[in-house]
Each structure stands twice: as structure tokens, then as C-alpha cells.
Amino acid sequence: MLTKRIIPCLDVTLDEAGGTVVKGIEFVNLKKAGDPVELAKRYNEQGADELVFLDITASHEKRSTMIDVIERTADEVFIPLTVGGGVSSVDHIRQILRAGADKVAVNTAAVKNPELVREAADIFGSQCIVAAVDCKRNTDVENNPDKTILTLEDGTPAWYEVVIYGGRKRTGLDTVQWAHKLQEMGAGEILLTSMDRDGTYDGFDIPITNKLSLELEIPIIASGGVGNPEHIYDGFVSGKADAALAASIFHFGEYTIPEVKEYLKSKGIPVRI
């Protein structure tokens, strides 16, 4: 088994301070969690394997990602940094990489213009392009016979619908079919966020995580719902994810990255300590 990655996520919004890390539930009711650069430094020192920086209101506000905050963050961390939010063109991806990011996550723009993923992968390499997929459970299976129907924990059949603009807009796209297309177009990995679990502390959305992990050849980063180290263990064992992304448990000091890694190691999960 390959080493599993633990990735703190910095959800950032633009404010008078220039950028603040926030955390909410299902992408709303946001509360402040701190300065992005200071948090990034802390996680770098604690032994995070990577960092994800998401400008979560950029697409909705129709503006570019905060380049200055990326530059300041990149100056302080020495682990891979993925940046996303409001990424809409190859030129924008180039700006973000020049600012110090190692990878760029595309989400809303990829849904609106799928060729962006192919073009970006051709220019910068698949290893630089992370396809961020936000999804929501949809139990209307009768009217969607062409969708990939999965069985939820309680036995309910459902399909997973791709949502964009920070979860504000449904697309009608089937998450499994969309993920296959993203892989074909050259995405290097998929950052999968379950909107139903985001900020809930209920654990990862295992049915969709497991489905994509087993069907795709590229790595799946599970995101949304971590409340304790057991949830991360479940994401790796039941969800078959390659990496686990978490925010609240780290931002608000409930657990440190070393504590999570020691727990995983004790359970036989290979992690970098």
C-alpha cells in the first residue's frame, strides 16, 4: 500500500485583512479560523504532506484567486501546495504556478469548459492539474436512469450530482461519469468534496469515495466531513482514498497532524511521520 497523505485545507475568503481562513457547514455559515499564512506555517511544521488553498468565493464573486496570499503562503511552506478557486484560464493557471503553487485545482471552469483541463494538462503536465469535484446526493433515481446509481449507508439508492460555484448551483452532471471524463482529459488527481458532509463532522461520504477510488486510475483525495482520526482511517480503508483532506479538526485545535498520523500508524495505515 502506498503512503497515505494527510492534507489540511485552507478555505479562504477575501476580506479587509486581505484573506482569512474560514470554515462552515455545507459551504455556508462561515466562521473565521485564522490567517492563511500562519496556519500554513503551522501545518508545514507539524508534518502535513501537502496543503490545499481554496479561494472559496472567487468563482461566485467572478474574480481571480488572491495571488498575493498565495505568494506569501508559498514563501512559508516547503511541501506541495495546491491552489484553487476562480481558476478560469490557462493564463490564470500560469499566474498561480508562478506565484509558488505546485498544483492548480479547477472546478467550476472545468464544468463550463472541459477543454480547459485537457489544454492545461498538455501545457503544464497532468501532475499540476487537480480536478476539484463538489457533489451532492440526489435520491431522484426514477427520473435519472442514465445516472450511476449507488447505495447509501441506509440502503437508499441515489446518484451524486456535480455542483459548482461553491456548491450554489446544481449541474445535472453525474459525478462518476464526470470523474471518468476528467481522467481522460488529463487531470492528475481528483479532489472529491461531498457537500452533504462538508463541515458536519460525520465522516467522509464513503459510497462515492469508494466508487471513484476503485474505478479511476488517478488518485482520489477525500474531502468533507472529518470529525476525528477514525473518519480518516475509514476514508482510507472503506473509501479506498489515496489522501484525506481535513479542515475544522486542525484549524480549531481539536487534533494535530502528528496525533492523526500516530493513530493511523497504530492502525497499520502507511503514513509519513
Indicate the SS3 state at residue 120: helix
Residue 123 sits at the vertex; the CA angle it makes with 184 and 49, to the nearest 5 degrees, is 75
Helix 206-215 crosses helix 175-185 at what angle (to 10 degrees)? Answer: 30
Q: How far is CA 260 from CA 78, 132, 172, 264, in A?
A: 20, 24, 36, 6
Q: CB neighbours of 197 closer than 8 A, spacing ≥ 6?
A: 203, 204, 205, 224, 225
- The pLDDT assigned to 31 comes to 47
- The pLDDT assigned to 168 comes to 82
- The pLDDT assigned to 11 comes to 82
Report pLDDT digits (tens) over 156-199.
999 999 999 877 899 999 999 999 999 999 999 999 999 999 88
Q: How far is CA 261 from CA 84, 99, 221, 241, in A?
A: 26, 30, 16, 15
Q: How far is CA 24 from CA 45, 131, 161, 258, in A?
A: 25, 22, 21, 24
Contact 168, 60 (CB under 8 A): yes
Q: In the chain, what percentage of residues exceed pLDDT 90? A: 73
Does 131 have pLDDT greater than 70?
yes
Q: What nine digits make up the cell of 86? A: 476562480
Please indicate whether residue 44 or residue 15 has the higher confidence score (pLDDT): 44
- The pLDDT assigned to 257 comes to 97
Contact 226, 248 (CB under 8 A): yes
**What mean pLDDT do residues 244-264 have?**
94
Contact 167, 134 (CB under 8 A): yes
Listed residue (164, 256, 179) closest to 216, CA to CA: 179
Does 19 have pLDDT greater than 70?
no
Q: In the chain, what percentage of residues exceed pLDDT 70? A: 88
Q: Mean pLDDT highest for which of 6-10, 12-16, 52-56?
A: 6-10
Does 26 have pLDDT greater than 50?
no
Q: Which residues are annotated as catalytic?
A: 11, 134
Q: How far is CA 37 from CA 6, 48, 75, in A?
A: 18, 14, 9
Please indicate whether residue 63 or residue 203 has the higher confidence score (pLDDT): 203
The average confidence (pLDDT) of the chain is 90
- The pLDDT assigned to 69 comes to 84
Report pLDDT digits (tens) over 227-251.
999 999 999 999 999 999 998 899 8
Indicate the SS3 state at residue 77: coil
- The pLDDT assigned to 21 comes to 58
Does 86 have pLDDT greater than 50?
yes
pLDDT band at 200 (very low <50, low <70, confident <90, very high): confident
CATH architecture type of domain 5-132+177-266: Alpha-Beta Barrel (3.20)
pTM of the model: 0.91
**What mean pLDDT do residues 107-126 have?**
96
Please indicate whether residue 17 or residue 90 has the higher confidence score (pLDDT): 90
**What mean pLDDT do residues 106-130 have?**
96
CA 234 centroid distance within chain: 17
